[in-house]
Amino acid sequence: MAAKKASESFSKTLIEEVHKWGCMKQTGVSLRYMMEFGSKPTQRNLLISGQFLHKELPIRIARRAIELESLPYGLSEKPAVLKVACFFMLYVDLLEPLMESWRNSLYPESAFEAMVRDWYLDSFRDLRSFPEIKDTNDEREFTQMIKAIKVRHNNVVPMMALGVQQLKKGMDPKIVYEDLDEIHQFLDRFYLSRIGIRMLIGQHVELHNPNPPLHCVGYIHTKMSPVEVAQNASEDARCICLREYGSAPEVNIYGDPKFTFPYVPTHLHLMVFELVKNSLRAVQERYMDSDGVVPPIRIIVADGIEDVTIKVSDEGGGIPRSGLPKIFTYLYSTARNPLDEYSDLGTADTVTMAGYGYGLPISRLYARYFGGDLQIISMEGYGTDAYLHLSRLGDSQEPLP
């Protein structure tokens, strides 16, 4: 079945509605504002938060929907991307009679069809039927609905990864992937927006927790220990390495475990996990057939006035200078692609050591979301240092793509 763009499948009225929402101004929030506002989760504050999300989420979704319709290099036509595009288009307040034509025109037959179709149809019905939020009961129902949607769409990242891999397989191998700026810029905007959407939903949902963990305001831990998070992330990464290789280098962490600052532990865990995972793989593969002592991964946590910086160092052989421009692109990975091993994403729920090519670019987006950054410095023939900068001031506004 030939794939069609949304503009060829939907009415002019619907497309105009999506573009109208996409032209509305987004409203960014800071980590500090989320923490201060959420510190008193009264019914009034929860109602205000629900009303804000009821208006803000469709604006952010519409912007991505517009972009998903006209991606360069034929990426819009890849089956996996069409499924993601369906989610964003359906998120906006669409009309029920259009659903049959959408399904017929934008769902090429695949192993994912039934699963993905159910996700998006359920989301459409939930959002389409939800009225204006006027009282506490409305807000509670809205919260349950967006909580279910967040869980339902957990696999958007691997689905988009599949779309990019479909694009990569069909491209001329002589093309220099890092030169495909339009693709990389789109994916940066797409994933940065997704981080923001999931943060807003997750923060709102967690504020309803009647027994929040100590020092937690929603997703935010007001006294997070970066050393403790680094320890947990390193242990998780070593478990994956042990599973893949049968052994794993040691990880040594240096820093004051009593030092704390406000941040989102799940974000930091993801970033440190990806960095340590990369270092473990590099060291393990370099010393796999060696009788010498395997050098440990070193993590240093430094407390600065503006930033908390976490340095992850390894002696895994480093990255050639010619490879450095590629490390933050979405079309590059030196490992086997795990999507080649799992034709059905429903079975690909096992974390792998590498292969998607997404670890570093998405980790950098998580760092930048709250005003930080990620830098990589490598010495070919020796090893690599990754510098993860986290803003400790907490007053940076969300970057809104």
Nearest to 161 by CA among 149, 150, 169: 169
* Domains contained in the chain, CATH given: 12-89+109-214 (1.20.140.20), 225-391 (3.30.565.10)
Nearest to 249 by CA among 301, 289, 298, 318: 298
Residue with tokens 């991964």: 297
Mean pLDDT per 10-residue section of the chain, whose length is 401 residues: 47 67 89 92 94 86 72 58 55 37 37 38 53 92 88 77 71 60 83 92 95 94 97 97 94 97 96 96 92 94 95 96 87 59 45 62 95 96 97 85 78
Q: Could you tell me where the DSSP H helices lie in 170-293?
A: 181-206, 226-245, 265-286
C-alpha torsion angle, residues 399, 193, 349, 375 (rounded to 10): -30
3-state secondary structure of 211: coil
**On the CB side of 100, how many CA atoms lie within 13 Å of its CA?**
1
Q: What is the pLDDT of residues 8-53, one digit of tens each?
A: 544 566 567 667 878 889 999 999 999 999 998 999 999 999 999 9
* CA distance readout (Å), 87 to 142, 163, 167, 174: 18, 15, 20, 33
Nearest to 202 by CA among 152, 143, 135, 251: 143
Q: CA 188, 116, 6, 92 torsion: positive or negative?
A: negative
Q: Are 77 and 111 in contact (CB under 8 A)?
A: no
- pLDDT of the residue at 114: 35
Alpha carbons 55 and 26: distance in angstroms, whole number: 10
DSSP state, residue 177: G
- pLDDT of the residue at 63: 79
